[in-house]
Amino acid sequence: MTPDSRLALARSLDAEDPLASRRSLFEGHDDDAVAAYLDGNSLGRPLKATSARLTEFVRDQWGGRLIRAWDEDWLQLPQRVGDRIGRIALGAAPGQCVVADSTSVLLYKVIRAACAARPDRTEIVIERDNFPTDRFIVEAIAADRGLTVRWVEVAPDAGPTLEGVSKALGPDTAVVVLSHVAYRSAHIADMEAITRLTHDAGALIVWDLSHSVGSVPVRLDECEADFAVGCSYKYLNGGPGAPAWAYVAARHLADLSQPIPGWLGSADPFGMGTGYQPADGIRRMVSGTPPILGMQALQDMLDLLEEVGIEAVRAKSLKLTSFAVTIVEDLMGADGVQIASPRAPEERGSHITIDHPAFSGMISELWRDGIIPDFRNPHGLRLGFSPLSTSFEETLVGIGSIADRLRSRGLD
Ligand SMILES: *Cc1c(COP(=O)(O)O)cnc(C)c1O
């Protein structure tokens, strides 16, 4: 393609994009110093509405209602926002999702709860290339409880497959822990089939949906998933350190035992009683005081997602990653840049990783110049496309800058 035809293509895709107008709802979308933000999958941009929400929160709720707000609203907020995430993005009926701690802490709580539900089994299965926190927590829980970790091998440009998981599963598997969308390659695991396989082996499954929630629709109830956990600062634009959420299928709630029995997940928090009695339902996943301030921004993104619908978001995401692949191949294919993500659009989430040895030194220059992808070892650039805030032209500008830099290095 010529430079003109690439630009014409990007502009025509923007012109026919039904979500294009939503981009201006985000803070910084017209910031000249950031020509391409390709990392909304790590930290989503704030919505403009969030400034007003935060100001009002401080003034009217925190400042106006003071401690009365706990009774009037805040104590219920973890479940109310959890139910909304479940309905809008996860295919989860009410009463199964709650917003609480960080993703890491919720993974710990949920995996321990799953292990406790399979007390006679001795193994935990996890993919070799899962996100570090997932692996570290699984290894720590295994060491604590005397369990063995069984690793699912995965190709670097893919993720856990049915076949790979079946090799690691056995009669001793207690729990399987997998990412639905792989953080590096964006590979989408077959949730329905892998969940069924896990159940056939008598084990339980924990899905990490950090890179799915808000960009790739999931159907937790229909797939009969047992547990799930995910971030809210990625595609839910909750802001740095926004709390994560957990899903526990209703059928597990009555007997669920989680390892951090705090007072606000107990049956009668203000009774100040002697022994811990868990609250009914998903509330028992809560430990300490819920991070109310941290749950504000993500509610604006939930409003927007609810309005446009997750299917429309996915439709744009498919077009964005396909366009990105086309441009990467056109501009950098001949330089030996590899696409380290699934080739079929429907098999990947909303980012792609591109690999080249020269990328390892490039990220600080790119960031300095307002081109903001992410770096993933050993020499991958991860390009994330947050469908509601990323345009096709922005995608072209970002990839074009990477290509320019790659070429100028070759000439040095
Ligand atoms: C981003 C991410 C996390 C982050 O965990 P935090 O505790 O929120 O830092 C965990 N797992 C996966 C798969 C992620 O992509």
The per-residue pLDDT for range 158-216, each reduced to its tens digit, is 999 999 999 999 999 999 999 999 999 999 999 999 999 999 999 999 999 999 999 99
Q: What is the mean pLDDT of the chain?
A: 97
Domains of the chain, start order: 3-48+310-411 (3.90.1150.10), 73-305 (3.40.640.10)
Q: Catalytic pick from 39, 208, 355, 374?
A: 208
Residues 6+ apart with CB under 8 A from 271: none
How far is ligand 1, taken at its centre, from the CA of residue 4, in Å?
A: 39
Mean pLDDT of 108-131: 97
> Please, what is the angle between helix 296-308 and helix 77-85, to 10°?
30
208: annotated active-site residue? yes
118: annotated active-site residue? no
183: annotated active-site residue? no
How far is ligand 1, taken at its centre, from the CA of residue 374, in Å?
A: 15
Pocket of ligand 1 (CB under 6 A): 102-104, 131, 133-134, 179, 183, 208, 210-211, 231, 244
Q: What is the pLDDT of residue 378?
A: 84
Q: In Å, how far are 292, 314, 408 from 360, measured between CA atoms?
A: 39, 30, 15
| DSSP structure class, residue 60 | I
| Distance (Å, whole) CA 339 – CA 325 | 7
32: annotated active-site residue? no
Which pLDDT band, with edges at 50, 70 and 90, does 376 fall under? confident
How far is ligand 1, taken at its centre, from the CA of residue 342, in Å?
A: 21
